Amino acid sequence: MRHRQVLAVATVALFGLSGCADRPNDLDTYYDDPAPTPTVEPVQPSVRPQAAPAPPSSTRAPAPAAVFAALLTDEDVAGEEVVPGEGEVSGCLTGLTRETSRSATWSYASGSKLEHQVTEYADRDASAVVTRADCAGKRLTLTKQAGVEIQRAWCEGTTCTVLLAKGKLVSALSVTAGTEARATDAAKRLLPIVAQRLRSA
């Protein structure tokens, strides 16, 4: 009887062991931490740096020093009792304007206008430019100025224009007044000053 009990206990133990045989008994398997999920970094969109805008290029050529030297100043026309004006030159002077031209304008208290422009012609003699010039109006004869290669003058209505040439420079003066006589008188007064400026350039 005792032998049967031992056999029964051994049988139960063996059955228990066989029942657990199909189950994994590796503690590492039961208790391993779950595999970490890989973290995907968000892809940042590539941004190209914007190129700085190019500064605007100047299309106007720098004027030679001689042009500024021949240009009338406020002091030169102080005797005319004028004030600096605004705007570009007009009339016959516009046909002489180049990239190397520089001009100045003044206004009389009466509303009359005084304009002066100096232009350098690097590709030709200034005397040829003045010789071919054909400003509107009738020819005006003025005292010939020393040191000037050629000078010509015209009056149209109440505007008188004088052109002087020396070397590569053309000096152009225009006076608009209330009457032709006043414009002519102003041109005569200013002519020696314009010529002096041109000689010194």
pLDDT band at residue 45 under the 50/70/90 scheme: very low
- Predicted pLDDT of residue 100: 93
- Predicted pLDDT of residue 41: 54
Q: Encode pLDDT of 56-92 as tens digits.
A: 444 556 788 999 999 999 999 999 999 999 878 989 9
With a threshold of 0.85, does the pTM exceed it?
A: no
- Predicted pLDDT of residue 24: 47
Beta-carbon contacts of residue 176 (< 8 Å; ≥ 6 apart): 112, 113, 114, 115, 158, 159, 183
Q: Between these two residues, 86 and 114, which has the higher pLDDT value?
A: 114
pLDDT band at residue 37 under the 50/70/90 scheme: low
Class of domain 65-200: alpha beta
Beta-carbon contacts of residue 111 (< 8 Å; ≥ 6 apart): 178
- Report the distance separating Cα 193 and Cα 163, nearest Å: 13
- Predicted pLDDT of residue 121: 95
Domain definitions of the chain by residue range: 2-31, 65-200
The token duo for 36 is 């970490």
Q: Which whole number is the average pLDDT over 163-181?
A: 97
Q: Which whole number is the average pLDDT over 143-147?
A: 95
- Report the distance separating Cα 189 and Cα 83, nearest Å: 17
- Report the distance separating Cα 32 and Cα 26, nearest Å: 10
